[in-house]
Amino acid sequence: MKFIDLLGRFVFNFLLATGRFGLFTAQTIRYMFTPPFYYKQLLTQLIEIGFYSLPVVALTTLFAGMVIALQTYTGFSQFSSEGPVSLVVLISVTRELAPVMAGLMVAGRIGASMAAELGTMRVTEQIDALSTLSTNPIKYLIVPRVLAGILMLPVLVLIGDIIGICGGYLIGIYKLEFNATTYLVNTWTYLKTMDIVSGLTKAAVFGFIITILGCYNGYNSKGGAQGVGAATTNAVVSASILILIFNYILTELFFNA
Amino acid sequence: MLFSKKILSKTPKIRLSNLYKSFGRKHVLQGVNLDIYPGESLVIIGGSGTGKSVTLKCILGLMEPDAGEIEIDGQKVTHLSEKAREKVNAKMGMLFQGAALFDSLTVWENVAFGPMQTQRITKKDAKKLAIEKLALVGLTKDVADIYPASLSGGMKKRVGLARAIAGNPDIIFFDEPTTGLDPIMSDVINDLIITTTKKLGATALTITHDMTSARKIADRIAMLYNGKIIWIGSVKELDKTKDPYVRQFVAGSANGPILTQAKVEK
Ligand SMILES: Nc1ncnc2c1ncn2[C@@H]1O[C@H](COP(=O)(O)OP(=O)(O)OP(=O)(O)O)[C@@H](O)[C@H]1O
Ligand SMILES: [Mg+2]
């Protein structure tokens, strides 16, 4: 009896939380298309997400591209020439590594800071203050952040694609001593629009996941500093898990359907 | 309940009738009835956790009451559309307990935030307006360009007050305006509350547990206990009342009918 009671409560709470999150998401999406729009807030967030995440994304994708080149060479020695190595680097970086790496890095940076900032605004009543000053807090705080995430992640991933491929190239030329021209020509001929487009689509989805979860957790945090800490952790962990799940689903949709 | 005839004849600025609000099994408001008249300064006193802030949040539309009606200028404001709510809120200003200044904006941007949202004014005019309002609360324009993080508690309260009055509201709410301030700064804030509300001719609703402050700024005092307004009257009447709850609260004594053990129901 006790078990059933507990289970019932768990299911109820889960459904309640899902419903709340769904409502929050629906409201955010609706407000994306209803004025007033806060362009200045959007610009600040675009810079915050795009510009300041560049170093981490560049570093992670660079090393990801390098390690893939190395692994392809050592792991599949019978295929190790310019052709296969450049192909494997190209496909894995554009389809998987750049979006996932950028997604996870930005989840750690931006998801956490959004949750912490909005959480602090919640517990210090700044969000309530916005409402009393005739400003809708979802329009003013949430919409610019989510929009900036959707817009900026693809840009970051595109840059990550280029840097990751360069990483593979560096290893190929300087360590594996491939012919530079052949490697570049191979990369160019193997390059397919679909690989890039699928990666950028993933990036936009991840940008949405990261920002909406960061915002939701921060916006609804309660219970002082501890609550804000919990919101930050939840934002990063849930976004990271969802990124990996959606990465699989999107790959399935793009390449297997 | 006693209040003067002069007040009775007007329609109330704010009327709370039979307000109920619960959080899970915690019944915070259990039938609050209160009329606040134009131009008066009403103070709600009551212990920690009795629902003073919840009452205020219901009036401001930050929370929906479970049952009951709230009227502002005779207009029912529960279940309003978003647009209509924003219009009602434009009549009101609020000084939050911790001032709730926006960290990411400078002092003047904080003060001019409301007018910049609702009216189309240029940045220059907004800053001029902010500096005017800052002068009203005794701050010079030196503070206009700094960020709230570097202000002391008393200065934050002043900036919060300047922000609350920047939109020339009809009604101003003060949530524990003197909590956490030294006695002298408290008195300064009390004086500012009196002068700024008088200057605007605004109705003021203050919640506090600081009796010195309550006596100074109140025309009438109401006591919230157990989810209801159990007493209401002028400062003079407060000193003469035989109500044991009010007397205990005013005396600040641990002995009396008020339950001091915090009831934690989970
Ligand atoms: N959003 C909320 N969710 C759950 N419980 C809440 C919420 N807001 C307030 N409460 C509860 O309602 C009760 C009344 O809270 P309120 O903040 O109104 O007290 P208060 O009278 O303002 O006290 P204080 O003088 O300490 O500020 C408290 O017990 C509080 O725990
Ligand atoms: Mg309170």
- pLDDT tens figures, B236-256: 998 888 888 888 888 888 877
Cβ separation of A135 and B100 shorter than 8 Å? Answer: no
**pLDDT of chain A, 257 residues: tens digit per residue:** 778 888 888 898 889 889 999 999 999 999 999 988 999 999 999 999 999 999 999 999 999 999 999 988 887 766 667 778 889 999 999 999 999 999 999 999 999 999 999 999 999 999 999 999 989 999 999 999 999 999 999 999 999 999 999 999 999 899 888 888 888 888 899 889 999 999 999 999 999 999 999 999 999 998 888 899 999 999 999 999 999 999 999 999 998 86
- CB neighbour list of residue B158: distance below 8 Å, 6 or more residues apart: B134, B137, B138, B139, B189, B192
Pairing of strands B14-23, B26-36: antiparallel
d(CA B96, CA A25): 28
User: Is A132–B89 a contact, with Cβ atoms under 8 angstroms apart?
Assistant: yes
Please check whether residue B100 touches A, CB under 8 A: yes
Q: In what order do the strands lie in the sheet with B26-36?
A: B26-36, B14-23, B67-72, B75-76
Helix (H/G/I), strand (E/B), else coil: A155? helix
Asked whether residue B222 is assigned to any structural domain, the reply reads: yes
User: Structural domain of residue B47, as residue ranges?
Assistant: 1-91+171-176+202-266
Query: Residue B231 falls within a domain, yes or no?
Result: yes
Pocket of ligand 1 from Cβ distances under 6 Å: B 23, 26, 28, 46, 48-54, 209
Q: CA-to-CA distance for B177 and B164, rounded, in angstroms?
A: 12
Structure-token pair, residue A217: 């957790």
**In a domain? residue B164:** no
Backbone phi and psi for residue A132, each to the nearest 5 degrees, phi listed first: -70, -15
Ligand 1 centroid, distance to B48 Cα (angstroms): 8
What residues have a C-beta under 5 A from ligand 2, the ion?
B 53
pLDDT of A30 reads 95
CA distance A218 to A245: 23
Ligand 1 centroid to residue B69 C-alpha, Å: 20
Is position B247 within any domain?
A: yes
Please give the Cα distance from A217 to A33 (Å, whole number).
23
What's this model's pTM, rounded to 2 decimal places? 0.88
Instruction: Confirm whether B131 is domain-assigned.
Output: no
Tell me if B7 is assigned to some domain: yes
Q: Which residue of B has its CA nearest to A123?
A: B100
Does the beta-carbon distance from A132 to B94 stay under 8 Å?
yes
Ligand 1: distance of its center to the CA of B64 in Å?
A: 14
Beta-bridge partners for B92 = B171
pLDDT single digits (tens) B108-157: 999 999 988 877 788 899 999 999 999 988 888 899 999 999 998 889 99
Closest CA to A234 of A104, A99, A111: A111
**B260 is a domain residue:** yes
Count how many domains chain B has: 1
Q: Are B110 and A135 in contact (CB under 8 A)?
A: no
The CATH number assigned to the domain holding B78 equals 3.40.50.300
- Interface membership of B121 toward A (CB under 8 Å): no
* Cβ-Cβ contacts under 8 Å for A249 (sequence gap 6 or more): none
Rounded Cα distance, B163 and B192, in Å: 13
Question: Would you state the torsion angle of the CA atoms of residues A153, A159, A160, A163, taken in this order, to the nearest 10 degrees?
Answer: -170
Enumerate the residues of chain A whose CB falls inside 8 A of the CB of residue B89: 131-134
For residue A36, the chain B residue with the least C-alpha distance is B117
The predicted-structure confidence for B256-265, as pLDDT tens digits, reads as follows: 787 765 544 4
- Cβ(B107)–Cβ(B146) under 8 Å? yes
- B62 CB neighbours in chain A (<8 A) are 128, 131-132
DSSP H helices in B44-92: 52-60, 82-89
Residue B35, strand partner residues: B15
Backbone angles phi, psi at A14, to 5 degrees: -65, -45
Q: How far apart are CA B193 and CA B137, in angstroms?
A: 9
Q: How far apart are CA A197 and CA B84, in angstroms?
A: 44
- So what's the pLDDT on residue B1? 42
